[in-house]
């Protein structure tokens, strides 16, 4: 699919902000199943400084500084992305039992380092807690392949948890969202990641978007009118795991517990990290602006729909102009 993404973030401050520095993750990733066609980041008021650099996970991180007093800030990211259904990398050991995967990531002196190891450890929004292990065990049946574990956990969470935008905030601990069995996509992603990590397996957080209006005959997905979040689980490559260089490269498989499915071409990946703290769309340090209101709007639609809408608007404008020109002059003005 060729998708057009608009993500607008609007802050209103009271009193005004005197100076500010911001970081933003608003540029979609380039991956094996996703090609970034174009991207534009508009900032109002105009920043005194701005730059873009890749972060440690390969995401594009935008920095900008505002040095003039302002009582509002509007940041609009506009992107065009070509997507396809993610595919597992060749050589993935899809049938490898989860216990064998856990052993590959158990610390051993002088063992070959696997970069995915970083996603086994706790992070700010994903702590270790016995409650995660207790919930996870039903999916982690002995000998079950890691992919099947992840799919089972995804479907269980979809059945067990209620999407409730008013039940949590971004600061709500994942263990609390687990206990109340409700939350939003960020909560569900953190819970699923915590379940994998507490069992010794790598899992990471993916931020992104969903197609706002589904194709005819398909249900509208939860979280389609805002930023979305899901989970990426590491699957090792084939081989004996002894570090002798004969293993195939591993890869990541994605799962969306909010919607009980794997992401497809109707998803746009924005950034990856250990948890939300690594990939928050906007954050900053302000001097002033003790109070603020925030409004965020996200729209994802096929580029053909946008082109059709533009063509219809142009035709409507042309018809209106023709009607005006064809009207007889007003007699009172003759």
Residue 94 phi/psi, 5° resolution? -65, -30
SS3 (DSSP) at 319 = helix
Please give the angle made by the CA atoms of 19, 20 and 25, to the nearest 5 degrees. Answer: 165
When pLDDT is cut at 50, 70 and 90, the band that residue 333 belongs to is very low
Above 80 in pLDDT, residue 219? no
Q: Which of 225, 203, 227 is nearest to 214 (CA)?
A: 225
Please give the angle made by the CA atoms of 199, 172 and 253, to the nearest 5 degrees. Answer: 40
pLDDT tens digits for range 34-69? 999 999 999 999 999 999 999 999 999 999 999 999
Question: Structural domains in the chain?
Answer: 2-83+283-305 (2.60.40.2250), 98-277 (3.10.620.30)
Across all residues in the chain, what is the average pLDDT? 89
pLDDT tens digits for range 132-163? 999 999 999 999 999 999 999 999 999 999 99
> What's the pTM?
0.88
Asked if 111 and 60 touch (Cβ cutoff 8 Å), the reply is no
Classify burial at 313, counting beta carbons within 10 Å of its beta carbon; exposed 0-12, middle 13-18, buried 19 or more: exposed
Greatest Cα pair distance, the chain, in angstroms, is 97
Above 50 in pLDDT, residue 334? no
What's the pLDDT score for residue 240?
47
Q: How far apart are CA 208 and CA 298, in angstroms?
A: 10
Measured in residues, the chain has a length of 334
Strand order across the beta sheet in which 228-235 lies: 251-255, 228-235, 203-210, 267-273
Of all residues in the chain, the percent with pLDDT exceeding 90 is: 74
Residue for token pair 């920043």: 47
Residue for token pair 């534009």: 40
pLDDT tens digits for range 220-274? 666 556 799 999 999 998 864 545 555 567 899 999 999 999 999 999 999 999 9
pLDDT tens digits for range 283-317? 999 999 889 999 999 999 999 877 666 555 556 55
């Amino acid at each position: 699919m060729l998708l057009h993404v608009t993500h607008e973030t609007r802050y209103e401050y009271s009193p005004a902000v005197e100076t500010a520095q911001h970081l933003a993750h608003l540029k979609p990733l380039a991956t094996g199943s996703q090609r970034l066609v174009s991207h534009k980041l508009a900032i109002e008021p105009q920043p005194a400084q701005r730059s873009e650099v890749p972060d440690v996970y390969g995401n594009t991180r935008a920095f900008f500084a505002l040095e003039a007093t302002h009582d509002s800030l509007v940041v609009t990211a506009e992107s065009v992305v070509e997507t396809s259904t993610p595919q597992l990398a060749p050589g993935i050991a899809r049938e490898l039992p989860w216990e064998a995967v856990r052993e590959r990531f158990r610390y051993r002196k002088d063992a070959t380092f696997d970069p995915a190891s970083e996603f086994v450890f706790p992070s700010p929004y994903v702590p270790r807690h016995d409650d995660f292990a207790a919930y996870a065990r039903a999916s982690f049946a002995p000998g079950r392949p890691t992919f099947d574990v992840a799919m089972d956990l995804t479907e269980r969470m979809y059945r067990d948890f209620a999407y409730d935008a008013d039940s949590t905030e971004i600061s709500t601990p994942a263990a609390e969202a687990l206990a109340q069995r409700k939350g939003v996509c960020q909560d569900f992603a953190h819970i699923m990641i915590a379940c994998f990590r507490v069992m010794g397996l790598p899992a990471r957080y993916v931020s992104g978007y969903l197609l706002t209006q589904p194709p005819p005959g398909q249900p509208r997905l939860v979280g389609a009118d805002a930023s979305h979040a899901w989970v990426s689980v590491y699957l090792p490559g084939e081989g004996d795991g002894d570090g002798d260089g004969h293993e195939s490269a591993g890869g990541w498989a994605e799962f969306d517990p909010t919607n009980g499915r794997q992401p497809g071409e109707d998803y746009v990946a924005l950034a990856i990290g250990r948890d939300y703290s690594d990939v928050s769309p906007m954050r900053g340090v302000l001097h002033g602006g003790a109070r603020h209101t925030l409004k965020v709007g996200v729209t994802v639609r096929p580029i053909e729909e946008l082109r059709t809408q533009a063509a219809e608007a142009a035709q409507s404008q042309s018809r209106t102009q023709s009607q005006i020109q064809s009207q007889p002059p007003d007699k009172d003005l003759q």
